[in-house]
Amino acid sequence: MKTLISFCMFLMIMLLACNKDQFVQEEPLMLKKANVPVPMKADFCFTPNMDAPLMLIVGLPADQPTSYLPSAGWLSGHATHSGKLQMMESPMTAVSANFDFEKMLVVWVTTGKNTAANGDYYYYDATSYSNPQDGSFTGEVVMRDGIGKFKGATGTVQMVGQGTCWHAEGTITFAR
């Protein structure tokens, strides 16, 4: 009798395990990227557009050549989630430049678009604080929207640089 009950239980388990109804999926399975921040690192350099007008640093004397910054240019370099930037498709434009006499720093606000190796891109706004004595600077870049994999993406990185090159670290959140 025990053998018969064991055989029946085994047969029931086999029938239930082979029942296709348990595996019918009502909706197609779609894998989505989680809407969570992921690490981002970048190493960029700025190349000024020599055809663009220079921008006066507000608060400094207009008769001094050192009172001016390039108003536009391009970024080159590498970043996670982007690969090598397409320099001529990665413009940066100065919005404002002011000298902060209290901190003795140039506050430079810029905006731009970074184009990844595959042609996808995101927009950004940045504020940097530059020391005119040694050329060092720090700042924050806020990424906002774009196309391709950057559609709806947001993020923030902190940059630290010298001259026209810098390293940045932070996070990016992909919308999908």
Task: Report pLDDT digits (tens) over 94-141.
Answer: 999 999 999 999 999 999 999 999 999 999 999 999 999 999 999 999
Secondary structure element (H or E) that encloses residue 130, with its range: strand 121-130
Confidence of residue 176 (pLDDT cuts 50, 70, 90): confident
Residue 33 has pLDDT above 90, yes or no: no
Residue 81 has pLDDT above 70, yes or no: yes
> What average pLDDT does this structure show over 153-171?
97
In a domain, 20, yes or no: no
Residue 10 has pLDDT above 60, yes or no: no
Domain extent at residue 118:
41-173
In a domain, 11, yes or no: no
> What average pLDDT does this structure show over 152-172?
97
In a domain, 107, yes or no: yes
- In this structure, of 34-43, 54-63, 83-92, 153-162, the range with the lowest mean pLDDT score is 34-43
In a domain, 32, yes or no: no
- In this structure, of 25-34, 126-135, 150-159, the range with the lowest mean pLDDT score is 25-34
Confidence of residue 162 (pLDDT cuts 50, 70, 90): very high
Residue 1 has pLDDT above 50, yes or no: yes
Residues 6+ apart with CB under 8 A from 71: 49, 52, 53, 54, 55, 93, 94
- In this structure, of 27-36, 46-55, 90-99, the range with the lowest mean pLDDT score is 27-36
Give the pLDDT of residue 161.
97
In a domain, 23, yes or no: no
In a domain, 21, yes or no: no
- In this structure, of 3-12, 22-31, 122-131, 152-161, the range with the lowest mean pLDDT score is 22-31
The answer to whether the Cα torsion of 138, 54, 73, 125 is positive or negative is positive
In a domain, 30, yes or no: no
Amino acid identity, position 136:
S
Hunting for tokens 């960029």 — which residue is that?
44
| Total structural domains within the chain | 1
The C-alpha atoms of residue 92 and residue 113 are separated, in whole angstroms, by 7
In a domain, 129, yes or no: yes
